Structure 1
Amino acid sequence: MSAERLRVFFALWPDAATAERLEALAGQVHAQCGGRRMRRDTLHMTLCFIGEIGLGSLAALEAAVATVKAPAFRIDIDRAGWWPHKHIVWAGCGAGARDVAALAETLRAAVSAQGFKIEKRPFQPHVTLLRKGRCPPVTDRIEAVSWPVREWVLVASERDHAGSRYRRLGCWPLGAVAK
């Protein structure tokens, strides 16, 4: 990718304590499934994948989502799964899934309305724990990792010899906690 282009996406990024618990969970499923564990600094939940854009489009992308508002919420990462076709072991949420999906849909609509192309796959809230996993986790139910969601971020994905590195480009706070 050239210096004038960025590969970007919007995501939920865990606070340090949540990232630590997700990393520990990745270690548990790694013992069962093998594969390559995601580094703690790369654990996230993608809300809207956009892909490659020119640097000149970054301000328009940020403006497209500037008015997106949503309450803060909590999600419970309490289930694990495996996508055999991609060899990905992931963790997903029960509690909070509707809030995540609503925020993702709002972001997707705002970005699309400004002419940005977005990934067309149906949204499935998840955190990738392992790549190149050899099998599904032993159980799909896991001890819940409670994740207080207070913001969402715009991230650039940069590839190098060690894999993907993520750089935060922007951050938007969520509103008061919903009652």
Structure 2
Amino acid sequence: MIHRRLFFAFWPDEALRHGLSAARRSLFPMSGRPVELAGVHVTAAFLGAVSESRLDVLTALCGPVQPLTITFDRLEHWPKPRVLVAATTHVPDDLRGLVDGLWQQLDRLGFSREARSFRPHVTLARDVRSVRPGLKWEPFRWPANRLELIEAVSTPDGVVYRPVPKTLPR
């Protein structure tokens, strides 16, 4: 049985990815390495290892959602996973409601929600041991209007994230 490491996420369009690239440049040089912007995302629900046989039912949950905006207005250094993230001071109620609704559907499919609370963030850099004082961050808005199923694939160069197509080749 083949398993894939999956999660639901908001996936940016190219304009947002480009804007994030420009904002991130101001953070370096610093310890750590920047993440590949091709895989940047905002996780809505982490599933873990999932049997390939369940992909159809999961991709059916993907698609447009009621448009909402997430404002990433602060930087946070998370020492334990050694990452620098763009975070939000306030989680919009409509975002929290969307994620809760997704988990209700996933619960009916037999998936268990993580114990930790939902903290929307965008990982900007990995292997960050420290952050220089006074690091400036210009807030950016992420228009979240579509939910995607994302696969995390381990490679010799690190993890690569890619959307799972709705119609899978057989």
- TM bin, normalised by shorter chain, reads 0.7 to 0.9
CA RMSD across the alignment:
2.4
- Which residue in 1 is equivalent to 2:104? 109
Q: Is 2:124 the counterpart of 1:129?
A: yes
SS, match of residue 167 in structure 1: strand
2:48 is matched with which residue: 26, 51, 59?
A: 51
Hey, what's the Cα distance between the residues in 2 that align with 1:26 and 1:13?
A: 17
> Which residue of the partner structure matches residue 175 of structure 1?
none
Structure 1 residues 69, 120: CA separation in 2 closer, same or farther (over 3 Å shift)? Answer: farther
Q: Which runs of no fewer than 5 residues in structure 1 stay unpaired?
A: 172-179
Correspondence for 2:94 among 95, 99, 115: 99
Aligned counterpart, 1:7: 5
Q: Percent identity?
A: 28
Distance in 2 separating the partners of 1:45 and 1:98: 16
SS in 1 for 2:123: strand
What is the rounded CA distance, in whole Å, between the counterparts of 1:87 and 1:115 in structure 2?
32
Structure 2 letter corresponding to 1:27: R
Runs of 5+ unmatched residues, structure 2: none
Alpha-carbon contact 1:45-1:127 (below 8 Å) kept: yes
Amino acid at match of 1:123: F
Query: Partners in 2 of 1:159 and 1:91 — Cα distance?
Result: 23
Counterpart of 2:27 in structure 1 is 29
| Aligned CA distance change for structure 1 residues 97 and 170 (closer, same or farther; 3 Å) | farther
Aligned position for 2:16 = 18
The answer as to 2:69 corresponding to 1:71 is no
CA distance in 2 between partners of 1:8 and 1:130 (Å):
21
Letter in 1 for 2:95: V
Change (3 A) 1:138 1:16: farther
Q: Aligned-pair distance for 1:73?
A: 1.3
Q: What TM-score, normalized to structure 1?
A: 0.81
User: Which 4+ residue blocks in structure 1 deviate beyond 6 angstroms?
Assistant: none
Q: When you count helix as a share of all residues, which structure comes out higher?
A: 1
How many residues align? The count is 166
Q: Give yes or no for the alignment of 1:40 onto 2:46.
A: no
